[in-house]
Amino acid sequence: MDQIVSLCKRRGFVFQSGEIYGGIQGAYDFGPLGVELKNNLKAAWWRSLVHERDDIEGLDASILTHREVLRHSGHEETFTDPLVDCRACKSRFRADHIEDGICPNCGSTELTPPRPFNLMFKTNMGPVEDASSFAYLRPETAQGIFTNFKNVLDSTSRRLPFGIAQIGKAFRNEVTPRNFIFRVREFEQMELEYFVAKGTDEDWHQQWLDLRLDWWRAQGLDRDHLTVLDVPKSDLSHYSKRTFDILYRFPHGDEELEGIANRTDFDLGSHSKRNTDLELDAHVRANTKSNAQLRVRIEAENKWAVPYVIEPSMGVERGVLAILVESLDSEDLGNGNSRTVLRLKPHLAPIKVAVLPLKRNHEGIMQTARTLRRELMATGVGRIFLEDTGNIGKGYRRHDEVGTPLVITVDFETIEGDGSVTLRDRDTMAQKRYAKDDVAEVVRDYYRSG
């Protein structure tokens, strides 16, 4: 993990938030390369679900959340972690992070019994701080999907099965944020709520598990580094009938990367008006103030029903961390030399092509490099970077380390000779010369074929 943290800071992937004031715990900022990697991961998820399927709609709901939403979702009552205080050093820990009743900070055994601590961040809207202005920062993006269920249904005329996908910030007042960006207080989630008819839910649950494992492999994670945990009944969230966790082999152990839950009719049922003729399976909260009936018409059975929902839910930061861990490689080049290389899948790489002029103070070379950069930009493959340090060896090393798949060198042969450039492949280090005018097409083909 130290290697990852150091690379992230040195090369501009991730910084501690508020670092110049000593840092704020559990919050991180994504730097110039980190934001590209994160955006590429989000785009891959969105493309695979919303653009490439014809049964999923997108949504972007607000972060500020009405208290009633999180009361009826069950979060006010149950979204807690067991908190333990150390009487000696006054540190606080999650009870499940303590071993053998010993304070991890000072070693004392003077610990309080665990008490529930609600993880939701509270705030007030407007100038007056009272109950009427109270709001939560959402702890999951999912509730925005459930509360917009009828809006999406009415505006799109979807029928079961169909899904609603969303990417956005979530906030949790974690007792002990830790392991770099693995457990933080502010993070992004990518959540799909896939609505299905009751009775087909178990089959869909398995299908989504398989689809999600395939997706992670397409992002470059080795299948052997992923395990599936069928979460024991005693550990299930309050809304879940069954959950599969996809665990990744992080440096600190096999830990949750994504959860795929069968949330039954719990949420839509909880937010629906009472006294309906609906048969609900889940235990739902009474006395909702909502006037909505979040249901679908089942024509074959001539009745209304609240659908079941399968929810694949992942944290973007955990995804980024897993991809960095998986991609970071140190390659022995012989004779005591080695190189650090980030073997990112090309579609995730922050920089798609680096253009390296052999000499930075040679106007002819620089001019050609600038023109080439513009031509490559026009291919639309992503960020093209003009690396004008004038040191080819350093440029290769830097771009290997940040995962740039292709580097193109402009030299004297380009401007005075046959007009060719050198294209170097990050993974094989193979170099091949191409006519300057053909190289944009070569780059386009490279990214088209993934």
| Residue numbers at the binding site for ligand GAP (CB under 6 A) | 140, 142, 172, 174, 183-184, 187, 189, 191, 256-259, 311, 313-315, 317-318
Specify the residue, 140 or 411, whose C-beta has the smaller distance to ligand GAP.
140
CB 424 to ligand GAP: min, Å: 35
Specify the residue, 59 or 406, whose C-beta has the smaller distance to ligand GAP.
59
CB 392 to ligand GAP: min, Å: 39
Q: Which residue number places its CB atom closest to ligand GAP? A: 315
* Strand partners of residue 435: 420
Contact yes or no for 280/265 (Cβ under 8 A): yes
Specify the residue, 179 or 290, whose C-beta has the smaller distance to ligand GAP.
179
Q: What distance in Å separates the CA atoms of residue 327 and residue 324, rounded to the nearest whole number?
A: 5
Specify the residue, 313 or 420, whose C-beta has the smaller distance to ligand GAP.
313
Q: What distance in Å separates the CA atoms of residue 1 and residue 250, rounded to the nearest whole number?
A: 8
CB 14 to ligand GAP: min, Å: 13
Within 10 angstroms of residue 347's Cβ, the number of other Cβ atoms is 19
Sequence-ordered alpha helix ranges (H) in 81-141: none
End-to-end CA, the chain: 28
Angstrom distances, CA of residue 118 to CA of 25, 81, 138, 292, 326: 18, 7, 13, 28, 34
Q: What distance in Å separates the CA atoms of residue 183 and residue 177, rounded to the nearest whole number?
A: 5
Cα radius of gyration (the chain): 26
Specify the residue, 201 or 256, whose C-beta has the smaller distance to ligand GAP.
256
Specify the residue, 77 or 425, whose C-beta has the smaller distance to ligand GAP.
77
Six token digits for residue 65: 């959340």
CB 362 to ligand GAP: min, Å: 48
Q: What distance in Å separates the CA atoms of residue 94 and residue 100, rounded to the nearest whole number?
A: 13
Specify the residue, 17 or 391, whose C-beta has the smaller distance to ligand GAP.
17
CB 190 to ligand GAP: min, Å: 9
CB 383 to ligand GAP: min, Å: 26
Q: Tokens 């999907």 appear where?
A: 145
CB 266 to ligand GAP: min, Å: 12
